[in-house]
A and B are shown apart, each in its own frame.
Chain A
Amino acid sequence: MVSGETARPSPGPIQPMKLSARLCLILATAFGIGCLPARTWTSTDGSKTFEATFKSYNEALKQVTVTLPNGRSITFSINKLSEEDRVFLAEEASKLAKAGANREGAEQFAQSDIGKAMKKMQILDGSRFATHTFEAVPEFFILYYSASW
């Protein structure tokens, strides 16, 4: 979709999406990707541009959905977009997949026996112990068993 053109959803029945594409769509909603700032999108040949906010990307169908300044959402093939825009979409899809994996892993970990025990972590904060939590769940842990005596 570029200036002067009308965006149209892809014709024909919707093909079953692959898991990664479904994940991207779910995560796009869950992480509020529609809240990203508007950006300038450029046509394949670079001759036309338009402003819109990235909403979601269907990797299986190679389609992107964006929201125009008037609030209308449109879906179109990424083949109409410049290489730079396609790189942007690939990066966004990668971020979403990674964020989703981290979030899923963190939720599973929090429910495990080890995760529950680690909610009791404390760290030295001046002259006292303060509650400590992980910003992200590490892949491995070294447990050091010791005592003051």
Chain B
Amino acid sequence: MPITTAQLEKLHPYKELLVTSSVILTCLILSVIFPATNSFQSVSRNLFFLIVLPVLYIKLILKRDPTEYGWKAGNMKNGLFSAAFALFLGLAVFYLLIRFAGFSSHYHINSLIKNSFGLFLLYELVFLNIFFFAQEFFFKSFVLFSYRQFSYWAVLIQSGIYFSLLVLTKNFSWQTLPVIFVSLVGGFITFKTKSFLYSYIFGLLFIMILDAYIIHLVR
């Protein structure tokens, strides 16, 4: 049945939200299923669909200022304090998980980075960082601020989308528990500071420290 003019009129206030949601969904799906034959192409695919395409969409289609999507320093004092608090909280939670739930036995760390500090830094600051930044930008900047009209619910929406993606791609496990934590806590930091920078800093530091601690435990 064709959509009537009246129905379109009713949808009009949500047009941007609907189209943006479609773009988010498309980007996510393509970042997973777009055929890539090697790791180099996989990196390119992630960067393209999680960063380049959302940026182009914001700039060319929505014609919005990137600062509306958290591309700014925001309240630095507030941001750094929140990031530090979240880091402390996260490390405390995961210390308890390691101590009482055997988290370290479920959390796999590549044997190469276990034995070489140089490789560890390379992995954490380059490889992990590329993917983490792409992910942070997409969810904390593009997704979260696209739904900012829903106030704090936007944090849960972006976390929910991320969580669903993990479940659908069968990646939901102990291994992804830290990034789920970062997704949720980082979302609140981003929303509060209106900048995804602090969430990104918090997340990267948190994962690096956690990896380093677990390497220390298992070596």
A and B: bona fide binding partners: no
- Residues of A at the B interface (CB closer than 8 Å) are none
User: Which B residues are closer than 8 A to A by beta carbons?
Assistant: none
